[in-house]
Structure 1
């Protein structure tokens, strides 16, 4: 989902939070074809390479802490062990900022695999792209599949589809029908080109009061409604196949400790809750893919 962090010379704008930019904005994913883009990122954020790396490391440590907490659970540890034991496999997670987050559920699971089985052969590709809708992902999907060649795809899109923009917003960014058509087409293209196992992850419910009070969202006239989230989640469950339903994981409205002060993006506890819900389905999908 969008972080509404573009700096604009206007006293009404809260300005960018550099820590959030580092956490959610990874220009090399979208513009990796530009020479030197990875090396240029610190300067683009106004940071030295050392400060940028230190900021990143803070989130890497948080993901590792989340992994340690995950592995304190017997069922989760067993699922991680089963997953690691499946042998070589490539898992691609297509998502938005809930996935792109440096301390996201994907990074927690990556750390858990490494802690539990350092010799595992799972290649876990974090394909999260902040602020992207299902339509935006669809445009580059065949190229992504060709580059990654996944055995398993986890599709965690839709959170930006249901964003409403503007005063008294009358529509979501992507209509419900178009969202479901886009998601179905992503799976059809993948099945045609690489035949992966497939898992859906629904958008997460939000705290509408926090959304309404968050200064960057107020400035950008961005809003989310649990009614829209629920409708899309219901539609995704109707597409068939394994589903990790984040409206169930988070509750409606989202539990206060699972989302941050913007009401949309998960806290570390929220990301850990997603990781707990996703690890067993991922283990089963990799087993089926062998």
Structure 2
């Protein structure tokens, strides 16, 4: 049972087609085997997480006034919306997957494409290296960026340091934004990375083994940089609180629970529909 849970977590957050899709033979059958599953089992695990995202979307649409907020999202017919991020976005039941289902449920006739370019375990430096090939090449109309969690991860016993300093994180995000501005006509949306439940994270065996340390001071500093930007900002740190609401953070204290992902999707829709909203009426 423990081994099965570990495999399902790997499938939830590790998407080999994004990382190694260029390799010959990297098809569904091979990916299933690498996870120790047959193709039918692999599809079943993936579809279960997708069903969670779809269910969260339907629950949001039942909230008073929320469906109308989805209608007011400023995405136009045929737009391509690309989400850039780490495991919080790459998650098969992430906020972006919930948004994709919201649009499919509420505005299917608009044909809006939602492309998930989240890459688990990636820092801003790693995303910068892949940004032109992974994002610019898609000719996006919208880019939504939620990065910083891996930059802020500290490694080793104290005194330790984040994997990427706040100064370098800011420079990387600035470079990513500049490339997008100069090479695409995309509208840009920032999302601040969610805060942690430090107590949970400090007691998780895999984090203890890797000596990974998570501090809210570090992630809030990244949020402070993002909040200063001139583009639209969805402030998830305000939603999660400090420390993070235990209902919104998952068992590891770092990756949001399904409720947390749903809260991110809600905040994203409400922020865009209020500040930029026009939706299908303006098409």
Q: TM-score range by the shorter chain?
A: over 0.9
Residue of structure 1 equivalent to 2:245:
255
- The alignment partner of 2:196 has SS state of coil
Asked if residue 37 in structure 1 is aligned to residue 26 in structure 2, the reply is: yes
Residue of structure 2 equivalent to 1:126:
116
Unaligned runs of 5+ in 2: none
Residue of structure 2 equivalent to 1:278:
268
Residue of structure 1 equivalent to 2:195:
205
- 1:124–1:286 Cα change, 3 Å: farther
Note the alpha carbon deviations across 1:176-231, whole angstroms, 9 max, x for none.
01101110111100110012111111111000000000011001111110010111
TM-score with structure 2 setting the length = 0.92
- For the residues of structure 1 that align with 2:72 and 2:93, how far apart are their CA atoms? 23
- 1:114–1:16 Cα change, 3 Å: closer
Residue of structure 2 equivalent to 1:111:
101
- For the residues of structure 2 that align with 1:15 and 1:231, how far apart are their CA atoms? 37
Note the alpha carbon deviations across 1:106-163, whole angstroms, 9 max, x for none.
1111111111222222111111000000000001111223421111111101111100
- For the residues of structure 2 that align with 1:262 and 1:15, how far apart are their CA atoms? 18
TM-score with structure 1 setting the length = 0.90
- 1:110–1:167 Cα change, 3 Å: same
State how 1:116-265 maps to structure 2 within 5 Å. Answer: 116-265=106-255
Residue of structure 1 equivalent to 2:36:
46
Q: Which moved more, 1:80-89 or 1:19-28?
A: 80-89
- For the residues of structure 2 that align with 1:146 and 1:230, how far apart are their CA atoms? 28
Whether contact under 8 Å (2:86, 2:146) holds in the other structure is yes
Q: How far is the alpha carbon of 1:286 from its aligned partner? A: 7.8
- 1:163–1:85 Cα change, 3 Å: closer
Whether contact under 8 Å (1:184, 1:239) holds in the other structure is no
